[in-house]
Structure 1
Amino acid sequence: MADITSSSSKQPSHDHFFVWREFLWGALAGGFGEGMMHPIDTVKTRIQSQVILTKGQNQKSIIQMVKAVWGADGVRGFYRGVVPGITGSLATGATYFGVIESTKKWIEETHPNLAGHWAHFIAGAVGDTLGSFVYVPCEVIKQRMQVQGTRGYWTSVIAKDASRLKADASMYGYYSGMFQAGCTIWKDQGPKGLYAGYWSTLVRDVPFAGLMVTFYEALKDVTEYGKQKWFPNSSFQVNSTFEGLVLGGIAGGASAYLTTPLDVIKTRLQVQGTIIRYNGWMDAFRRIWLIEGPKGLFRGSIPRVIWYVPASALTFMAVEFLRDHFKDDKVKEVTTVSIEKNKAPLQHS
């Protein structure tokens, strides 16, 4: 009894350690995934926003857009905006995975009827909502820098289309870097500019985050059920890092495709700048539907899925790897009763 009491008294510190560790692992994993897949995100952003510059003319396919970026800017064009992208992903990854663990535990303890996949959905949505306060300004800066490409490309676009897009030519000047872009947007538009498309971002990310966590946890349950049903007496164990890679990719890809229309609306609201083309989320949805139809709402869905499959796979793989290789060894030495309590925050990881 004495050992159990002693172990239980240390429980809060262990809980806090696990939760804060999730923030760190999530931040590292989020930044890693964004950095690796940024070129694909650049292609997606340009495909979704090209209608703003072309007025619906000469819409490029994925291959055509890749060739255009490469021809105009080379490798630099694909990595334009990578710094604000990684910065936003660090914040989102930290809150996403950190809040998920603490929120899931709180929901399951205080609202048992919401345990399971509902707890995963709510936890994912809450985590992404909190991260949006840092993520959205970074996303605005990142996407505008992606659309601009290098200075030479942006100057040529403005000069080429000045006669046809006279109003658009002054939508915003060239951004030399993340800090300069943030200061310029703040000066020109104030907080409203940095948080352009904030609500559309939440409309996209809350269901996306909830769906991805729900799909991931559901796939883990299905995988575990399959192992118990078809290999009940087998000692074979699937490496959790590999499991995170495969299941995370599937969960991210499915969630990304289903939320593509929300992503198109968000991108256009954030890229449009001071020249207002879409007056809010509903106006953007209505105009895209009437002018471009369903195809317009799913524009960029392929590169979005291509981005999220490996990005989500790498993110979940990194989280599972870090969880496995940086466990608190002292926790393993306490009694069985204490082990079960200490592992509670990670039972549904």
Structure 2
Amino acid sequence: MAVQSSISGEAQASKNFSHGHFFLWREFVWGAVAGAFGEGMMHPVDTIKTRLQSQAILNGVQNQKNLLQMVRYVWKVDGLKGLYRGVLPGITGSLATGATYFGVIESTKKWIEDSHPGLRGHWAHFIAGAIGDTLGSFVYVPCEVMKQRMQVQGTITSWSSVAVKDGIAITPGTQIYGYYTGMFHAGCSIWKTQGVKGLYAGYFSTLARDVPFAGLMVMFYEALKDVKVYVERRLISSPNWHVNNSFEGLVLGGLAGGLSAYLTTPLDVVKTRLQVQGSTLRYTGWLDAIHNIWATEGMKGMFKGSIPRIAWYIPASALTFMAVEFLRDNFNERVPNDNLREFGRLSVDKKSLQEVA
């Protein structure tokens, strides 16, 4: 009876959503806030990852630091200020990505499941996540280019000591691009020297990384929710057992983000190098970058920065999903019937409920 009531409740919530689209705008707001929160908290880890992945361009293939060496180097030369270089464009990009990611995802999942029944379940989750991230890429990619160039520059003192030509360190005084004093200066400088092409450097490589990443993260997150429900119903008999949605988002979001991040690390390495290289092109395109990285650095080069990438995405994804679930629980409007669950949180689909019944 309880299961049937829940199913009919979700159907009614879906109907209300279709006609009124109530509180859908909140998904955009909550996603933006959560995305910016996660980026701001974890930006120093992202800076280390970007430095590790781009050092082959700045210092040459044969002179690369490992993770601990890079952490010590950045802290010694640039300090806390260097770790937070590029945080403003990073947060700006995360606002756009978070808004479209969570704002689009629920309605997209519903549309896919209604219009294409064969794509229900994990496929619907994957496609919805991919679409949400793709829409955010128009704002996210220029911000990513600015952020990463500012990250590799560090402070003006450290950037003044960098001298690069064709990926090989040479006499101090020559740089691949001038020092950026801030986000606005970075955007104007890139636009002036390279135009739109510069701001959207590595755009397709970004999509090649983020579309599968976003799709996998949503798919893993929803799959882990299904596993949690299955375990609760099979192994936990207590009617008083309840897991807070914010805590669920924290744990499951972190696991989903970490696994997705590791699987897409090679795509992230390619994207980072295409965006960091500037006007002195070492790689002519996505395929050329893959070929050269594999030829000169092998598998190790393709997974460069995987540890800080995972270390960034586990807490960042955990904090993001936790924030979204918290905001949904505390600020979303509810369907008039108090017995219905908010439509914005589809933690269990109808198919799962029917199978349990």
Give 3-state SS (helix, strand or coil) of 2:337's partner. coil
Counterpart code for 1:57: Q
Contact 1:137 1:195 in 2 (8 A): yes
**What is the CA-CA distance between 1:61 and the residue it aligns to?**
1.0
Q: Which residue of 1 aligns with 2:9?
A: none
Contact 2:92 2:143 in 1 (8 A): yes
Contact 1:249 1:313 in 2 (8 A): yes
2:290 alignment partner, one of 285, 291, 294: 285
Identity %: 68
Contact 1:38 1:78 in 2 (8 A): yes
2:104 alignment partner, one of 99, 102, 106: 99
Q: Mark the CA change 1:289 to 1:159 in structure 2 (over 3 Å): closer, same or farther.
A: closer
Contact 1:105 1:345 in 2 (8 A): no
Query: Aligned-pair RMSD on alpha carbons?
Result: 2.4
Query: After TM superposition, what 4+ stretches of structure 1 lie above 4 angstroms from structure 2?
Result: 12-15, 159-164
Give 3-state SS (helix, strand or coil) of 1:190's partner. helix
Counterpart code for 1:133: F
Counterparts of residues 296-311 of structure 1 (less than 5 Å): 296-311=301-316
- Unaligned stretches of 5+ residues in structure 1: 1-6
Q: Which residue of 2 aligns with 1:213?
A: 218
Contact 2:253 2:318 in 1 (8 A): yes
**What is the CA-CA distance between 1:160 and the residue it aligns to?**
12
Contact 1:15 1:345 in 2 (8 A): no
Contact 2:57 2:168 in 1 (8 A): no
Q: Mark the CA change 1:134 to 1:167 in structure 2 (over 3 Å): closer, same or farther.
A: farther
1:85 alignment partner, one of 72, 85, 90: 90
Contact 1:27 1:94 in 2 (8 A): yes
Counterparts of residues 17-56 of structure 1 (less than 5 Å): 17-56=22-61
**What is the CA-CA distance between 1:112 and the residue it aligns to?**
1.2
Which structure carries more helix by proportion? 1
**What is the CA-CA distance between 1:234 and the residue it aligns to?**
3.2
Q: Which residue of 1 aligns with 2:8?
A: none
Counterparts of residues 165-184 of structure 1 (less than 5 Å): 165=170, 169-184=174-189
Q: Deviations over 1:36-59 (max 9, x none)?
A: 000000000000000101111321
1-side partners of 2:244 and 2:127: how far apart?
27
Give 3-state SS (helix, strand or coil) of 2:22's partner. helix
Q: Which residue of 2 aligns with 1:4?
A: none
**What is the CA-CA distance between 1:16 and the residue it aligns to?**
2.4
Contact 1:53 1:168 in 2 (8 A): no
2-side partners of 1:145 and 1:275: how far apart?
17
2:144 alignment partner, one of 139, 146, 169: 139
1-side partners of 2:167 and 2:203: how far apart?
30
* Structure 2 length-normalised TM: 0.89
Counterpart code for 2:316: A
Contact 1:120 1:213 in 2 (8 A): yes
2-side partners of 1:168 and 1:207: how far apart?
40
2-side partners of 1:84 and 1:272: how far apart?
18
Q: Mark the CA change 1:328 to 1:159 in structure 2 (over 3 Å): closer, same or farther.
A: closer
Counterpart code for 2:78: D
1:334 alignment partner, one of 320, 334, 337: 337
Q: Which residue of 2 aligns with 1:72?
A: 77
1-side partners of 2:33 and 2:68: how far apart?
31
1:122 alignment partner, one of 104, 123, 127: 127
Counterpart code for 1:59: Q
- Unaligned stretches of 5+ residues in structure 2: 1-11, 349-357
1-side partners of 2:164 and 2:118: how far apart?
61
2-side partners of 1:31 and 1:163: how far apart?
36
Q: Which residue of 2 aligns with 1:198?
A: 203
1-side partners of 2:165 and 2:113: how far apart?
58
Counterparts of residues 247-326 of structure 1 (less than 5 Å): 247-326=252-331
Q: Deviations over 1:164-203 (max 9, x none)?
A: 4369934110000001100110010000000000000000
Q: Mark the CA change 1:239 to 1:150 in structure 2 (over 3 Å): closer, same or farther.
A: same
Counterpart code for 1:25: W
1-side partners of 2:213 and 2:82: how far apart?
28
* Structure 1 length-normalised TM: 0.91
Give 3-state SS (helix, strand or coil) of 2:179's partner. coil
Q: Deviations over 1:245-292 (max 9, x none)?
A: 000000000000000000000000000000000010000000000100
Counterpart code for 2:103: G
Q: Deviations over 1:93-128 (max 9, x none)?
A: 000000101101111111111111111000000000
**What is the CA-CA distance between 1:326 and the residue it aligns to?**
1.0
Q: Which residue of 2 aligns with 1:3?
A: none
Q: Which residue of 2 aligns with 1:347?
A: 346
**What is the CA-CA distance between 1:327 and the residue it aligns to?**
2.6
Counterpart code for 1:310: P
Contact 1:260 1:297 in 2 (8 A): yes
